Copies of this chain bind each other. A is one copy, B any other.
Amino acid sequence: MLKISTRCRYGLLAMVELGQCYGQAPVSAQEIYKKQRVPKFYLQQLLVKLRRNGLVESIRGTRGGFVLKKDPKTIKILDIVKAVEGPVQLISCTKQSRDKCCSKIKECLTRPVWVELHEVVNRVLSERTLHDLMR
């Protein structure tokens, strides 16, 4: 059904929250999950992934929290999705991953639709930045 996962939704919510406070004091995980009503421990997990992918920085201790590591204008939505979910790979037979292709790639009449879908999704997520979502 191609449903957007909660991982994606919560991850982006968190990033938007951090975006709103860009340049200011760090925002704690607690502030985010209270404001956005997302599960505490689940959110923590996602924040760790965002940190490991270089999107946010964590500051430990009292008055600590998370801050964006880059300007919201330079953060693509795709970067965020990739960070919490891994690559957005609608099919395995793309140019990027030739190895996983089935052997009938050339004769495959259905492939063009899936490729187009794959490309269009990645394009939309690449064109929009975190900044575009903020007011």
* Residues of chain A having any CB pair with chain B under 8 Å: 1-4, 9, 12-13, 16, 77, 85-91, 109-110, 112-114, 116-117, 120-121, 124-125, 128, 133-135
Contact = CB atoms under 8 A, between A and B. Distances in A.
A-B interface, 7 closest residue pairs, ranked by CB to CB distance from nearest: A12-B110, A16-B109, A109-B133, A4-B90, A4-B91, A120-B120, A4-B114
A124 to B, nearest CB: 6
A15 to B, nearest CB: 9
Contact of A134 (B3, B109, B133): B109
A125 B1 CA distance: 13
Contacts of A114: 4, 9
Contacts of A9: 110, 114
Given A4-B90, A112-B133, 13 more contacts: A1-B85, A2-B88, A2-B89, A4-B117, A9-B110, A9-B114, A12-B110, A109-B133, A110-B133, A116-B124, A117-B124, A117-B125, A120-B124
A121 B1 contact: no
Contacts of A3: 89-91
